[in-house]
A = this chain, B = another copy of it.
């Protein structure tokens, strides 16, 4: 570890937005990370309270109290995770000493094109100068860039589930970049701890519905990654659904095969690309990936299936949206940025049932 060293040889981290679900998930993972010390937790509405007051299941950990961001002492930190509502990190980042590494779990720095950000998020980008140095941190696809980064834009949950299977196949030109259809099903933690009628138990249990049809904000993020892979502009259909589970995203992806390519070819390409990866795995042939296979773990599991329609294939990817889709990938990125074992703090099997 060349950077981020503390006296105790531990990386001293702060979590901005520790009172939300991704913040709590960072705490869950970092609490047993062998090389991390949590020195700062912020939560503006809960400032002054213990973490146990907002998350009783974490109350026994010996952690600092929640403070307001404005009261944070940055000098004691090596690394900051931002788990804040969109638009906020763009403002906060300006106050941070440049020596601090930053991993932002919000969408604030994910879109290289600040105009696209403005269009999709409804306000002008507040820190375009930082956008330039931000690295989009889909770890397996950008490990070298992440290693060298100071500011990592941690990918969105849906974009992670879509890009991990699609990017290698587009790069290999085995699938068409046209008419890619991504039908995603997500658990409710994807909406965070926001207190909205739509997220009440009674409005979600025993049901499913699509939302954000044709205009979900993760669309440009997905298209950005696929366009880079295809080396030309790619538009996709992305249709997310909200369903009654806490954690998990399953994306069923419908693609057209390139001339001569077969589902077996896609499988081979993905197998090769992710061979040796600790967190991205190809499902054995015939196994239909289920979100329960990855619940609570940092894994993304991918299945490849021949379609009944000639010249087409079906990809299925699953992840835990709070882990590989958010906080787990953030810890993975931290490990890469700090030259630690990439699996440190992430060595847990899925919790099933």
Contact = CB atoms under 8 A, between A and B. Distances in A.
Contact of A305 (B209, B213, B246, B312): B213
Nearest to A55: B352
Interface stretch (A105-113, A119-127, A138-146, A182-190): A182-190
This protein's copies in its complex: 4
A74 interface: no
Contacts of A188: 200-202, 205, 353
B207 A248 contact: yes
A23 to B, nearest CB: 12
B254 A181 contact: yes
A214 B312 CA distance: 11
Contact of A347 (B32, B283, B290, B297): B32
Interface in A158-214: 179, 181, 183, 185, 187-189, 193, 195-197, 199-211, 213-214
Contacts of A91: none
Contact of A353 (B21, B283, B290, B352): B21
A294 B57 contact: yes
Given A195-B200, A201-B204, A32 B189 contact: no
Given A31-B349, A185-B185, A254 B237 contact: yes
A230 to B, nearest CB: 15
Contacts of A219: 308
- Which of A21, A61, A296: most chain B CB closer than 10 A? A296
Interface in A26-56: 27-28, 31-32, 52, 55-56
Given A58-B349, A207-B295, 17 more contacts: A21-B202, A31-B349, A32-B347, A58-B350, A188-B353, A195-B197, A199-B202, A201-B204, A206-B247, A206-B353, A208-B248, A209-B292, A210-B288, A213-B314, A239-B314, A243-B244, A348-B348
Interface of A: 21, 24, 27-28, 31-32, 52, 55-61, 179, 181, 183, 185, 187-189, 193, 195-197, 199-211, 213-215, 219, 235-239, 241, 243-248, 250, 252, 254, 281, 283-284, 287-297, 305-309, 312, 314, 316, 318, 347-353
